[in-house]
Structure 1
Amino acid sequence: MPQTKRTPAGDALSDLILDLFRLNSLLFTAGDRLVAGLGLTSARWQILGAIVAAERPQPVAWLARDLGANRQNVQRIVNDLDRDGLVSFETNPHHRRAQLVVLTDKGRQAFDAAMRLQSPWVNGLSEGLAVKDIETMGRIVAALREKLESSVEPDARA
């Protein structure tokens, strides 16, 4: 079976994807270190952020969708957050089994403390980078995310 050659854009995007994989790992490691003193991990912080960003309490499945994450993994972390008093569950009037995840006061305090640590860190990380370049990268990442969210799964047989 002949192998399809990549276009120059496909080559460049492949290189970028590999760099993004490495960056994602480095960001999670740095985030873990940043918030370790608060009893958080990057994953817990990310979920608290999704809860804060939501306009109203949501079930775990919706949080997972918003994060582009696996529902079971998000459920496990939310259960840990509940055990530690950072979130609680409320009855969902629209679905008996899919409870709503709600940030507690303790959870809000932990998230706010994490964001206070994040500000100087991200400011330092952005030093030397042009705002226009960062915004361009943001648009590229958003466009790629939208393409992936709206596309069918890749065919492994191709």
Structure 2
Amino acid sequence: MTDTDETDRSPAGAALTDLILTLFRVNNLTLAWGDRLVAPFGLTSARWQILGAIVYAEQPRPVAWLARDLGANRQNVQRIVNDLHREGLVEFAPNPHHRRAQLVILTEKGKRAYVAALNRYYPKADALADGLSEAEIRAAHRVMTVLRERLEQEAGNGTP
């Protein structure tokens, strides 16, 4: 029992709450699925995600920028990048714009691991998408994008 009066809620707000609760569960299941998927390549979902951020960046970036791109905590990204560096998947390069914030670059070993993970991922993603239309998936993506943008805006304003 809560002290909240549920009758004051909008139908859209109630539906959004259901969606968010489902997102929590899907997020956890997706991370566990991803961990199993990329484990043969010495990766975890988090490591794979950071390799992807490096690959998709227009140019080499320092850890802080990668964290921003991912919407992640800089310290967590730094820890994972350090692990990737120890395992030879990334290397550091001088940053002409900042002496201490080195750029993170994929090594050949990192590129091979990333490509191997993608090659394993693509057929699995196709199988997960089976029975869903492209329009349904794009509509879900649009909703997630709007929610992400609103949450980022709220976080930028410092509001809870």
Give the TM-score, by structure 2 length. 0.93
Shift of 1:21: 0.7
Name the stretch that deviates more: 28-37 or 145-154: 145-154
Name the structure 2 match of 1:77.
Answer: 80
Name the structure 2 match of 1:27.
Answer: 30
Shift of 1:6: 2.0
RMSD: 1.2
From 125, 129, 132, the equivalent of 2:128 is 125
Q: Which blocks of at least 5 consecutive residues in structure 2 are unaligned?
A: none
The AA in structure 2 aligned to 1:137 is A
Shift of 1:9: 0.7
Name the structure 2 match of 1:58.
Answer: 61
Name the structure 2 match of 1:45.
Answer: 48
Counterparts of 1:24 and 1:18, CA distance in 2: 10
Shift of 1:92: 0.5
Distance verdict in 2 for CA 1:73–1:154, change over 3 Å: same
Percent of aligned positions that are identical? 61
The AA in structure 1 aligned to 2:111 is R
Give the TM-score, by structure 1 length. 0.94
Q: Which blocks of at least 5 consecutive residues in structure 1 are unaligned?
A: none
Counterparts of 1:110 and 1:15, CA distance in 2: 37
Shift of 1:7: 1.1
Counterparts of 1:8 and 1:154, CA distance in 2: 24
Show structure 1 runs of 4+ deviating over 4 A.
none
Q: 1:133-152 CA deviation, whole Å, 9 max, x = no partner?
A: 00000011001111111123
Name the structure 2 match of 1:112.
Answer: 115
Shift of 1:45: 0.3
Name the structure 1 match of 2:92.
Answer: 89
From 57, 62, 67, the equivalent of 2:70 is 67
